[in-house]
Chain A
């Protein structure tokens, strides 16, 4: 084999690996990104109906219910940003730091009955920790609520 051919072969080999990798990366990224939405955004219909997304906010106090029958562990609770709220259903054990009134992020998709079906519920390692997305969402919802109230009070 001539040196020139050899170089071409190496180049082709390298490009093939890169091509396959790039294809894998973009395919995988497209399928596995999940965006974050607050309950307000979900109620406004901004969240995708047919794709996984993350819902974050506070667990509404008094909303946690165990609905499992027999050996099934099933919980429902309401996630709120103090403006709007969305009901969540989760089959499985909730994380240690899950508590009413605390921040939470649930990953899953909207069910046909308007209940968010979570396949993963995240609470953080540290009890004082508030996920930044949740903090931002709460602030935004708060501003919105204040604006609406101000609007409603106008003569």
Chain B
């Protein structure tokens, strides 16, 4: 009964989304107030209906109702309660329902916080979001219905993929979707602004906090995924340039570009047409990401179930969204020329370069991700593009970006001089050279020029940011800084921390797969790993083996790690690594496979310096995003505009 209520709510939500998509847009075009007035209630109703649908599916999971096919395929009575709930979005159908729910939640939030929007603008924004929701709900209902019954009901469920039975993966998809779907908001703002023919600073100011919010969630989502892959896959890697990872990284890069170009549009009124294009581009990449992950066209380690009709549907949807928005752009963009001048040496130029580099990076990754698909479609062979390609393209493009962070933040808007910029960055420049060259020589095992380059860049970003903060604080103290200034500073410091993490981890990691008999020692990076042997392990829905490894350094005990090898009821094996985390190094131990009768195991032993800094950097960036979007400027200005508008109509 409850699943039917959910199913019914889902169908109603589709109808409401269609109403929300058509009436307000037509109404705004024709000037029919009663049609425009439909927008807000429809958006809120849609959220409510999807909440009911989601709750119904969650209930089916918690009750282990195996007469629902999706539940039977992805849950099990012996699954711990928390994972029964997270199993709701553990596979295709449920994760799409979550996608739709999050979209409607964002939309409902717009109706609450967007009070300063003119009713027409609001109607258009909600209308565009309604159309996007219509596409997704149709996809959900017609190709991937989570409420389909299974008759007769299964006695027992097939169990959730053990890889997903982990807190990291409970949180990862919702965060990622918050990010993906969040970019629908700046997209809707851009489309609505083009429909209304009003692309001004106010539009950029409305879009900015929403973009920052989406970007913040996407940052957290990607970082969580990377962290999960690190400790759960048992390979100790944190980024594989896997197509599915790229699918989330491309909207992140484009979103980063969008955030920066929105800053220029708001402050200086420049880059308008470009910003609109970026908003379209970013959301299209989010949709493309969903397509790549959900259609199964990619051979990836993530290997989600595939179904050609689903892929075709998303591809058509993607083509419709991209096609129609680009057509609208082509018709309207020529009218939104920015007539703002700026000199070659100015912050605008730095931000323009930032945008160019970010977009070029995105396109290079897109090319590497789609290339195998294109070659395959042309029948020219089955190829794969490996991580070396992405590293070879990404790293050289990131270096100028890091340099630009320093130059752009100290440069003045509109017009600056090289002499003035040099005067400001001279000290940070020298300091970063000194610290960057000394650090690898003193703190690390041996000096390499690559490490020195990475550290110089990290210190450069850090010191120039500190310099800018000092300038801002002059005369009014650190307390006088606005939240968005702090947000900018933290975002950039996060980048510095991130650079430290990647540089030192990729250069100084020690990795070895070794055969160990109980009692064997293995020395690595100054640590002594003693393999004590293995014991049998009994879990709620798995059995396994647990190893014990005692780690000492110079005779002093460091820690004891217990890596596990589990065999789940589904027959799927899993590696649970043993990790001793630390600020300057992680010790990582994983069990491979038993080798022979003498109790020998293949054991994977890693020493990974500064690996935590990668995720720490992402966390700091996300914190920067939160500070920026909570800046009171957005609310104060919004209120002022509201008053101005009330004055106009009075």
Contacts and interface: CB of A to CB of B under 8 A. Distances in A.
Contact of B573 (A20, A92, A97, A129): A97
Nearest to A14: B356
B301 A124 contact: yes
Interface residues on A, range: 35 or more
B558 to A, nearest CB: 21
B270 to A, nearest CB: 12
A145 B400 CA distance: 55
A9 interface: yes
A71 B522 CA distance: 9
B602 interface: yes
A125 B301 contact: yes
Interface in B331-382: 341, 343-344, 349, 352-353, 356-357, 360-361, 364, 367-368, 371, 381-382
10 contacts: A6-B343, A32-B388, A33-B384, A36-B382, A66-B595, A93-B602, A107-B384, A107-B386, A124-B301, A125-B301
Interface stretch (B286-294, B427-435, B445-453, B508-516): B508-516
Contact of B364 (A25, A52, A125): A25
Nearest to B595: A66
A66 B596 contact: yes
Given A25-B364, A36-B384, A91-B513, 12 more contacts: A17-B360, A24-B392, A25-B368, A25-B393, A29-B385, A32-B389, A34-B383, A66-B596, A93-B590, A107-B386, A122-B301, A126-B161
A62 B488 CA distance: 60
A66 B364 CA distance: 41
A93 B513 contact: yes
B275 to A, nearest CB: 17
Interface in A79-138: 91-94, 96-97, 107, 122, 124-127, 129, 131-133, 136
Contact of B388 (A28, A66, A93, A131): A28
Contacts of A35: 381-383
A91 B70 CA distance: 40
B392 A32 contact: yes
B592 A73 contact: yes
A72 interface: yes
Contact of A72 (B349, B397, B515): B515
B570 interface: yes
A33 B384 CA distance: 6
Contacts of A92: 513
A18 interface: yes
Contacts of B74: none
Contacts of B111: none
User: Which 10 A-B residue pairs are closest in the complex by CB-CB distance?
Assistant: A93-B592, A28-B392, A36-B382, A32-B389, A96-B573, A92-B513, A21-B360, A71-B514, A32-B388, A73-B602
Q: Chain B interface: which size bin?
A: 35 or more
Nearest to B596: A66
B163 interface: yes
A13 B355 CA distance: 13
B575 interface: yes
A149 interface: no
Given A129-B303, A133-B299, A29 B368 contact: yes
Contacts, number: 124
A150 interface: no
B480 interface: no
Interface of B: 161, 163, 234, 299, 301-303, 341, 343-344, 349, 352-353, 356-357, 360-361, 364, 367-368, 371, 381-386, 388-389, 392-393, 396-397, 513-516, 520, 522, 570-575, 590, 592-593, 595-596, 602, 604
Nearest to B567: A96
Interface string A33-62: 111100000000000000010100000000
A6 B344 contact: yes
A34 B384 contact: yes
A20 B382 CA distance: 28
A70 interface: yes
A154 interface: no
A27 interface: yes
Nearest to B363: A21
Contacts of A31: 388-389, 392
Contacts of B299: 131-133
A109 B392 CA distance: 21
Q: Which of B361, B515, B573 has the most C-beta atoms of chain A within 10 angstroms of its own C-beta?
A: B515
A104 B234 CA distance: 18
B567 to A, nearest CB: 10
B593 A93 contact: yes
A94 B593 contact: yes
Contacts of B386: 32, 34, 52, 107
A24 B364 contact: yes
Contacts of B574: 96
A67 B161 CA distance: 33
A29 B389 contact: yes
Contacts of B393: 21, 24-25, 28
B69 to A, nearest CB: 17
Contacts of A6: 343-344
B539 to A, nearest CB: 16
Contact of A127 (B234, B388, B572): B572
Given A70-B515, A72-B515, A133 B234 contact: no
Nearest to B604: A93
A19 B453 CA distance: 23
Nearest to A125: B303
A68 B353 CA distance: 53
A17 B604 contact: no
B396 A71 contact: no
B356 to A, nearest CB: 5
Nearest to A123: B301
A66 B573 CA distance: 20
B172 to A, nearest CB: 15
Contacts of A13: 353
A71 to B, nearest CB: 4
Contacts of B356: 14, 17-18
A27 B515 CA distance: 39
A93 B595 CA distance: 11
Contact of A125 (B302, B384, B388): B302
A106 B570 CA distance: 25
B516 A133 contact: no
A73 B514 contact: yes
Given A9-B344, A96-B574, A125-B161, A21 B364 contact: yes
A122 B234 CA distance: 13
Contacts of B392: 24, 27-28, 31-32
A10 to B, nearest CB: 7
B513 A36 contact: no
Contacts of A73: 513-515, 592, 595, 602
